Amino acid sequence: MSLALTRIPVKEQDPQIRKHNFKEVSLGYSLEEAIQEAQRCIQCKNPRCVAGCPVNVYIPRFIAYIAEGQIDEAAQVIKETNNLPAICGRVCPQEEQCEARCILGIKGEPVAVGRLERFAADYTMSKQIQTPTTVAKFNATKIAIVGSGPAGLAAAADLAKLGYEVHIFEAFHEPGGVLVYGIPEFRLPNELVKKEIEELKGLGVEIYTNTIIGKTITIDELIENGYKAVFIGSGAGLPKFMNIPGENLNGVFSANEYLTRINLMKAYDFPNSHTPIKKGQRVAVVGGGNVAMDAARSALRLGAEEVHIVYRRSEEEMPARLEEVHHAKEEGIIFDVLSSPIEVLGEDGWVKGLKCIRMELGESDSSGRRRPIALPNSDFILDVDIVIMAIGTSPNPLITTTTKGLKTHSWGGIIVDDETGATSKDGVYAGGDAVTGAATVIQAMGSGKKAAKAIHEQLLYGEKIRHDSK
């Protein structure tokens, strides 16, 4: 048997067309394409891909079903461990996880696990098949989940399937967390997130929006009110700025704000949608992660003539997914790497330009990446009217400052036990960005699942298991 070394390509919207709309870039596989791609999988006896998945989806099994054309069965296999396959199929960094470990990747291209996962999820969703999931009867034990992003949703799904009465508390008016406020429509349509959340509600999970834990209700009050365990998945927090002059000029935004206006509040449809946004002619986005790519490509779709990514290291060090960088370049985003902003220039209170300085790479730092060093007298000015800062976030203090006995790192992240997600406070668990700082959707989901398991064990066996395991 000869191995197919290249994967079946996926259709995408033409870059020249898609840069003017918010529709999905990748169009996904057709049934025939999916089956062909699935047949490339050699069904390893010891599948390394499964270990590469933070939620351990049984990859070869679902791919085998697709290869046989049994798509519903494939979706069911995925959902045994992952309740949000349409989302993960789109936004997981498969190239660093499952696909990175695929044996076919040694000599050729790995099996397109992400595309196949997306296909299975979309296929069953479009046929409106409710993949049956077994839910145990309510066991009358209430569990509170703080935040309805990927960490909270994953924890909620697993706990609901075990029969717990799960209540999710969401600060925004709509559930989904970063999936709806952060990741743009062209990567992850909100409609699809809604559908996957609806399925979760089908498991009996209740979602309370407009409820800010730490303000409307505190963690301690949740416990007093009979919740036997609390999982905190409150996500990333306050956007970081660079502390350079001119950052408070009109026209400087955090990526959080820019993306929330566009994605959650649908500002691209202003004035039909009532939330406005500044449409720049020339936009600079500072940062090299996925959020920076999302902000840059969103600005382009709002009608900007020119969009720059300004990143202080080289392209090699960029934390963004290769695919996102590739898509951004195809659409005409200009990459100013080895450049760092030193001042936002203004006129009459509005952004007029971004003064940057050239960098070179020195020795490796603690993160293993080469440290950027400014080159003297190398400053230059980017002629832009909007500057978007996409350089990360620091944890939100709303919960940690209002919860007694919840320990945090000096940088604000909640301290947890790696294995269980247990915090320093009894019955309180945490996961996702609130613990790790900015990370990926699937890592957050993985931490939610881990905590769900730990909560279940704790509630079943109580203190006993704790002592035994120590």
Partner 1 sequence: MYKIIDKKNLASGIVMMKVKAPFVAHKAMPGQFIMLRVCEGGERIPLTIADYDREEGSISIIFQEVGYTTKDLGKLEINDSIRDFAGPLGMPSKLDGFKKVLCVGGGVGIAPLYPQIKYLNEQGADVDVIIGARSADYIILQEEVHNYASHSYIATDDGTLGHKGFVTDVVRELIDKGNKYDLVIAVGPLVMMKAVSQMTKEQGIPTTVSLNPIMIDGTGMCGGCRVTVGGKVYYACVDGPDFDGHQVDFDEAIRRQQIYKKEEQIQHNCRLY
Instruction: Give residues in contact with partner 1 (CB under 8 A).
Output: 171-173, 209-212, 215-217, 236-239, 241, 243, 247-248, 250-251, 253-254, 256-257, 260-261, 265-266, 270-278, 349, 396-398
Residue 406 Cβ, how far from partner 1 at the closest point, in Å?
Answer: 17
Distance separating alpha carbons of residues 345 and 374, to the nearest angstrom? 19
| Residue 135, number of CB atoms within 10 A of its CB | 13
291 contact partners, CB below 8 Å, separation of at least 6: 182, 255, 259, 390, 438
* CB nearer to partner 1: pick between 241 and 380: 241
* CB nearer to partner 1: pick between 41 and 213: 213
* CB nearer to partner 1: pick between 58 and 208: 208
Residue 387 Cβ, how far from partner 1 at the closest point, in Å?
Answer: 13
Distance separating alpha carbons of residues 277 and 77, to the nearest angstrom? 42
* CB nearer to partner 1: pick between 279 and 453: 279
Residue 146 Cβ, how far from partner 1 at the closest point, in Å?
Answer: 12
Q: 460 burial class (0-12, 13-18, 19+ CB within 10 angstroms)?
A: exposed
455 contact partners, CB below 8 Å, separation of at least 6: 143, 155, 159, 229, 231, 429
> By C-alpha distance, which of 119, 121, 102 is closest to 111?
102
* CB nearer to partner 1: pick between 52 and 432: 432
6-12 contacts, C-beta under 8 A, 24 or more apart: 6/108, 6/109, 7/37, 7/40, 7/109, 7/110, 7/111, 7/112, 8/33, 8/36, 8/37, 8/40, 8/112, 10/112, 10/115
Distance separating alpha carbons of residues 305 and 203, to the nearest angstrom? 46
Residue 192 Cβ, how far from partner 1 at the closest point, in Å?
Answer: 19
Bridge-based pairing state of the strands 386-389 and 282-286: parallel
* CB nearer to partner 1: pick between 33 and 385: 385
Residue 289 Cβ, how far from partner 1 at the closest point, in Å?
Answer: 17
* CB nearer to partner 1: pick between 56 and 273: 273
Residue 379 Cβ, how far from partner 1 at the closest point, in Å?
Answer: 24
> By C-alpha distance, which of 347, 182, 352 is closest to 284?
352
Residue 177 Cβ, how far from partner 1 at the closest point, in Å?
Answer: 10
Alpha carbon 275 to chain centroid, angstroms: 24
* CB nearer to partner 1: pick between 255 and 309: 255
Residue 217 Cβ, how far from partner 1 at the closest point, in Å?
Answer: 7
Residue 71 Cβ, how far from partner 1 at the closest point, in Å?
Answer: 34
* CB nearer to partner 1: pick between 82 and 254: 254
58 contact partners, CB below 8 Å, separation of at least 6: 50, 77, 80, 81
Distance separating alpha carbons of residues 119 and 22, to the nearest angstrom? 20
